[in-house]
């Protein structure tokens, strides 16, 4: 790794510290993003879990929604977990009235598809492009109910429910790998960052 990679973690609500800790352990500079100016000069971004409708509302209050949508459209590598996946999805099932997303992922997600907090569970999953099983924690998690032609399913539960997708510079998972100290999806984000740097520099 030559120049230090700067990866933001959207820090409006949710499990921000866990993502920042993993990014730091991988040699990246983790930048907590709460204001539009903190999006400047980022190489990538993580949108953490939490409550998608709350993050949506706060992003509009703090003036982050439009700059985030522009960066996603420009190809910024972004990884969304749980609520972050919902915010990256083009369509939501079960959205509250007026709820918006940043969009970018050609998928439909169903909010709270696995039930409430008491239905939380942990499992291990095979993820396309990652050797060995990935530890995954599901907490009031969404389910990907439609994968459009621009997106690719990269992980599913034994029953066939899609829980992870990739599309260009975007990555989304229904689950929380950071809760288990699982870093390989964050490594994949950093690979996307380095690939984009190479393309820009060429």
| Count of domains for the chain | 1
Query: Which residue in 176, 182, 191, 195 is the catalytic one?
Result: 176
Average pLDDT over residues 142-147: 96
Question: Is 82 a catalytic site residue?
Answer: yes
Query: Which residue in 18, 178, 182, 186 is the catalytic one?
Result: 178
For tokens 């700059």, the residue is: 67
Distance from C-alpha of 92 to C-alpha of 121, rounded to nearest angstrom: 22
Which tokens in the block code for residue 137? 């924690």
Question: Is 186 a catalytic site residue?
Answer: no
**CATH number of 123's domain:** 3.40.50.880
Instruction: Give just the sign of the alpha carbon dihedral 94, 97, 99, 100.
Output: positive
Weakest-pLDDT range from 84-93, 117-126, 181-190:
117-126
| Measured CA distances, 9 to 40, 48, 84, 137, 197 (Å) | 13, 7, 11, 19, 19
Domain containing residue 18: 6-201
Which tokens in the block code for residue 118? 């008491």
Q: Is residue 1 situated within a structural domain? A: no
Q: Is residue 161 situated within a structural domain? A: yes
Please report, rounded to a whole number, the percentage of residues in the chain having pLDDT higher than 90. Answer: 83
Which tokens in the block code for residue 91? 């369509």
Q: What is the pLDDT of residue 153?
A: 98
CA-only gyration radius of the chain, Å: 15
Question: Is 19 a catalytic site residue?
Answer: no
**Interval 104-128: pLDDT, tens:** 999 999 997 776 665 688 999 999 9
């Amino acid at each position: 790794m030559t120049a230090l990679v700067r990866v933001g973690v959207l820090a409006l609500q949710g499990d921000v510290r866990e993502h920042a800790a993993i990014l730091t352990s991988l040699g990246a500079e983790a930048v907590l993003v709460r204001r539009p100016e903190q999006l400047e000069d980022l190489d990538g971004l993580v949108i953490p879990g939490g409550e998608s409708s709350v993050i949506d509302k706060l992003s509009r209050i703090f003036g982050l929604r439009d700059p985030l949508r522009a960066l996603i459209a420009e190809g910024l590598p972004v990884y969304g977990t749980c609520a972050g996946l919902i915010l990256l999805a083009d369509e939501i099932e079960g959205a509250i009235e007026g709820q918006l997303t940043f969009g970018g992922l050609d998928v439909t997600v169903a909010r709270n598809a696995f039930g409430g907090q008491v239905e939380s569970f942990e499992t291990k999953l095979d993820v396309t492009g990652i050797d060995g099983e990935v530890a995954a924690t599901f907490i009031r998690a969404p389910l990907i109910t439609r994968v459009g032609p621009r997106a690719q399913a990269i992980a599913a539960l034994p029953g066939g429910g899609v829980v992870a997708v990739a599309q260009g510079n975007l990555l989304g998972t229904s689950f929380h790998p950071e809760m288990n100290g699982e870093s390989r999806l964050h490594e994949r984000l950093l690979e996307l960052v380095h690939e984009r740097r190479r393309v820009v520099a060429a």
